[in-house]
Amino acid sequence: MKRSQIIMFGLFILISGLVFFRLMQNKKEDTKEVKEENTEVFVPVRKVKNKLRSISLVSYGQVAPNLELAVSFEVQGKLQRGQLTMKPGTNFRKGQLLYKVNNEEAFYTLSARKSALTNLILNIMPDIEMDFPSELTKWGQFLNDLRPDKKLPELPSTTSGKEKRFITSRNIYTEYYNLKSLEARMAKYKWFAPFNGTVVATMAEPGAIVNPGAQIAKIIQTNGYEVKVPISMNDIDEFKNKSVAEFINPSGKKIATGKIIRISNVINQQTQSADVYYSITPLAGEKIYSGMFVNVSIERHAEKKTMTIPRTAMRNGKVNVLEGEKIHSQEVLIVGSKPDSLFTTGLKNGQLVLLEQIDEVKSDITYKGITR
């Protein structure tokens, strides 16, 4: 064998030995790491202590006004400002003029028709004086009261069939009731507040041309509110029996009371709940605003001893229980609830219930509880 071949063979043996040695060393380290892997898991638990307590049924809802109206006109014309500048948040009182539409053209039309009626009556006055002399005074008074800038006076009543036929033949009734129609239409050029309230939104500004039925603004009543509360079908009978409820704001403070005013007959298919509508009366010093969220609560006494657990502890009607450093699931029954907790039966005193769900329970892991 040549010297160069011997050298190459020796280098090959040396390199192979080094690689094998390195691989064996890594295998020992991996084995050591596996052996040192932690097989203990600490989980938050609570010791079961069933108590007979007063349980509140709680749901949620949003405050809404009793009445919400869209402001619109039945006539066409240029929109004009009323007594107030209508902007979102503007408060108004019942009877205040909110908007008006320019009625100049309609006013002149009405005045012209009043003038035409005046001429008709003037033309029949000689006949009335001759054929119905006792009725002349009332028709003369009606003629004097008939003015363009004043409301149309009441039409004199006839005292005989002959007088009625005469007035009818001269188209007095036709013209009079045409005028009444125009006068009624004149009232539609102004929009007065029907209640105390506030402006929610505006869609048009003074100076714009409005069309019949076009929405100009949205207003709500501010002296009356209600709350729509979705109630589970399992609890709806309890809410019906306890018609009075308390309202709590998101921070947990009681702010109002209320009573059931109506219950919807339509069931939400997804949540299996019905909408219950409550009146809401704020407590002294508290204020209620449209759109605010509240929790509605009614009190009832539990028929059995219950254990309070957080909502995170339950999944599909089951909780995890720690026994002998192992975890198993157990079914429980919900008898009441709060926004963040559940009142349950089915757990025994002294059991350790996990406060959180575990995605996968492994049999080769030791579980130890940390009481909270």
| Bridge partners of residue 41, in order along the sequence | 367
Looking at 272, 301, 330, the residue that finishes a domain is 301
Q: Based on the domain organization, do 259 and 295 belong to the same domain? A: yes
| Bridge partners of residue 352, in order along the sequence | 47, 322
Local confidence band at 304 (pLDDT 50, 70, 90 cut-offs): low
Checking DSSP bridges between strand 40-47 and strand 366-371, what pairing results, if any?
A: parallel
Q: Based on the domain organization, do 110 and 183 belong to the same domain? A: yes
Give the mean pLDDT of 36-52: 80
CATH code assigned at 232? 2.40.30.170
Q: Based on the domain organization, do 279 and 173 belong to the same domain? A: no
| Closest to 352 measured CA to CA, from 313, 315, 321 | 321
Range with the poorest average pLDDT among 196-210, 214-228, 274-288, 353-367: 353-367
Give the mean pLDDT of 178-207: 94
Helix (H) or strand (E) holding 225: strand 225-232
Number of domains in the chain: 5
At residue 34, the pLDDT reads 44
The C-alpha atoms of residue 140 and residue 128 are separated, in whole angstroms, by 10
Identify which has the larger pLDDT, 254 or 26.
254
| Bridge partners of residue 300, in order along the sequence | 55
Q: Based on the domain organization, do 293 and 151 belong to the same domain? A: no
Give the mean pLDDT of 285-295: 90
Looking at 286, 301, 316, the residue that finishes a domain is 301
Q: Based on the domain organization, do 73 and 139 belong to the same domain? A: no
Local confidence band at 333 (pLDDT 50, 70, 90 cut-offs): confident
The C-alpha atoms of residue 229 and residue 57 are separated, in whole angstroms, by 12
**241 CB burial (10 A radius; 0-12, 13-18, 19+):** exposed
The C-alpha atoms of residue 176 and residue 153 are separated, in whole angstroms, by 10
Residue 33 has pLDDT above 50, yes or no: no
Q: Which amino acid is at 368?
A: K
Local confidence band at 11 (pLDDT 50, 70, 90 cut-offs): low
Q: Based on the domain organization, do 173 and 109 belong to the same domain? A: yes
Give the mean pLDDT of 22-29: 59
| Closest to 305 measured CA to CA, from 328, 336, 330 | 336
Q: Based on the domain organization, do 268 and 234 belong to the same domain? A: yes
Q: Based on the domain organization, do 274 and 334 belong to the same domain? A: no
Q: Based on the domain organization, do 254 and 215 belong to the same domain? A: no
Q: Which two tokens stand for residue 118?
A: 């005046």
Residue 242 has pLDDT above 90, yes or no: no
Handedness of CA 118, 124, 126, 132 (dihedral sign): negative
Q: Based on the domain organization, do 73 and 137 belong to the same domain? A: no
Provide the 3-class DSSP secondary structure of residue 272: coil
pTM of this prediction exceeds 0.85: no
Give the mean pLDDT of 266-277: 82
Residue 181 has pLDDT above 90, yes or no: yes
Range with the poorest average pLDDT among 13-17, 116-120, 175-179: 13-17
Instruction: Please provide the average confidence, as pLDDT, over all residues in the chain.
Output: 85
Domain of 183 in residue numbering reads as 105-187
At residue 36, the pLDDT reads 47
Q: Which amino acid is at 284?
A: A
Q: Based on the domain organization, do 88 and 144 belong to the same domain? A: no
Residue 167 has pLDDT above 80, yes or no: yes
Q: Which one-letter DSSP state was computed for residue 134?
A: G
Range with the poorest average pLDDT among 127-131, 153-157, 307-311, 339-343: 339-343
The C-alpha atoms of residue 279 and residue 258 are separated, in whole angstroms, by 5
Give the mean pLDDT of 92-112: 94
Q: Which one-letter DSSP state was computed for residue 249?
A: -
Q: Based on the domain organization, do 212 and 76 belong to the same domain? A: yes
Residue 79 has pLDDT above 50, yes or no: yes
